[in-house]
Amino acid sequence: MCADLSKNRTLWFDELSMPEAEKAAEEGKVVIIPCGSIEEHGGHLPLCTDSIQAEYVALGVARKAGCLVAPPLRYGLCSSTRNFPGTITITFDSLRSMMTDILEDFIRNGFKRLLIITGHAGGSHMTALKLAAKTVVTNHMNEEDRPRIMVCSDYDFAFDLRGKEFDDRDSHAGTIETSRMMAIRSDLIKAKGKRNYPDLPRFEVVPDPERYFPSGVMGDPTVASSEKGQKINAYVIEQIVKLVKELEQ
């Protein structure tokens, strides 16, 4: 878990006392729920890459916007990388059910503005999270002060830079993701990584997608840098702060 460097106050929800949690709810604090995965990221990045990025962004947003960060959920749903060594995936129903329970209990505690940030952005994973949010807001749709929930991936914003400053094919464990990890946790970088742009089938559903990218990489990590990562991370945080401000309105 990424440490909070603030000396004056905690940003982590679970480090609050009971009275502090009650007060935060009364003040209408936005709570960010960071999600990730345990997933292969080539031979150069750690299995916690998606989780580290989401937690880093969540803390960065919290420092700027004055919100709280919930304990992270580091298990996710991984489809295309499931058969690689190290990937630990949970089922669609498990992820949806777990997030539904988490959201409902924050609402029961009086928190009505919630933001899920996930560093893992696989299609089924995102659908499970969005379905959980949809279920919860529907459950409370007739309440006077009904809850508002947003679901996004930090890559909804990081990939804005593809085709501008980075190759528009860049993806999993490529330039952008490797650069971000260099800026966040350079000590976890295992190697330089190798360039690979796989030719994946556009429409066919296959049981063994790993045969199209056996290196586990979709992009070019060889041109990554900490400086690029700092710029990307700053941009992502800036965009998500805007979402928090929108929730507070």
Q: What is the pLDDT along the chain (249 residues), one digit of tens a residue?
A: 444 444 457 999 999 999 999 999 999 999 999 999 999 999 999 999 999 999 999 999 999 999 999 999 999 999 999 999 999 999 999 999 999 999 999 999 999 999 999 999 999 999 999 999 999 999 999 999 999 999 999 999 999 999 999 999 999 999 999 999 999 999 999 999 999 999 999 999 999 999 999 999 999 999 999 999 999 999 999 999 999 999 998
8 A C-beta contact, residue 98 and residue 74: no
What is the rounded (10 degree) CA torsion for 171, 151, 32, 47? Answer: -30
Q: Which amino acid is at 120?
A: H
Tell me, what DSSP letter sits at residue 3?
P
Angle value at C-alpha 231, between 60 and 220, nearest 5 degrees: 115
Tokens of 177: 């993701």
The DSSP secondary-structure symbol of 72 reads P
Listed in sequence order, the residues at least 6 apart from 110 whose beta carbon sits closer than 8 Å to its beta carbon are: 22, 25, 26
